A and B are shown apart, each in its own frame.
Chain A
Amino acid sequence: NAGVMQNPRHLVRRRGQEARLRCSPMKGHSHVYWYRQLPEEGLKFMVYLQKENIIDESGMPKERFSAEFPKEGPSILRIQQVVRGDSAAYFCASSAKPYEQYFGPGTRLTVT
C-alpha cells in the first residue's frame, strides 16, 4: 500500500506565476489536510477536504489560494500570483478514519 504521494517534491516559480501542488492520498482515504511550514516554524493548518467537499478552510488565505479534492484524482492546492512569502514546505496528510493521519513527503516551493 503506497503512502501519501505529493508532487512535485520541489517547485520553483517566479513571482506572479501560478503554483499547483498535488496530493494523492493513501488508497481508501477520503480525508485530506493541507499544511504550510515556513522555515524553522511549526505547521499551519490550511484546509481540510473530503471528496468533492471543503470541510474547513479557516486556515487558508482569503486571496490567491484555493484547494480541491475531486471525485477522481489527487487533491490540488493552487496558489495564484505567487509572492516570495509563499516560499515554504507544503504538506498534505490523509486519513480514512478519525485520529489517524499519514503525512506526505511535502512539496518545497521556492518563489524567486
Chain B
Amino acid sequence: ELKVEQNPLFLSMQEGKNYTIYCNYSTTSDRLYWYRQDPGKSLESLFVLLSNGAVKQEGRLMASLDTKARLSTLHITAAVHDLSATYFCAVEEFYFGTGTSLTVIP
C-alpha cells in the first residue's frame, strides 16, 4: 500500500515568516493534490500537480512536485493569520497524508 508522510505535523509560525511543508510518498504516482481544511469544515482543493517539476502558485502558497524523489512541498511565503488551517497532501485520489496543522501567530 502506498504510504504518504507529511512533516511537520504541527507548525506554529509568526506572521510574515516563510516555511515549507513536506510530503513524501512511497511509490511512483502521476498526480499529487494539496488541500486545506479549516476546523469542522470540509476540504478545499488548493493544487493538483501532474508532472515532475510541476510548480503551481496561488497567493502566498506555492506547491511543487519532484516525482523522482517522491516529494512534494507546499511553501508558505509571508504567512498571515488567515492561512491557519490543516493542510493535507494526497497521492492520487486515494492516499492522504496525516495533515499539517498550521497556526500563524500575530
Contacts and interface: CB of A to CB of B under 8 A. Distances in A.
A105 interface: yes
Q: How large is the interface on A (under 10, 10 to 19, 20 to 34, 35 or more residues)?
A: 20 to 34
A91 interface: yes
Interface residues of B, number: 18
A25 B90 CA distance: 21
Contacts of A56: 94
B43 A91 contact: yes
Interface in A92-112: 93, 99-106
Interface stretch (B12-20, B44-52, B61-69): B44-52
Interface string A31-47: 00101000001111100
A59 interface: yes
Interface of B: 31, 33, 41-45, 48, 50, 88, 90, 93-99
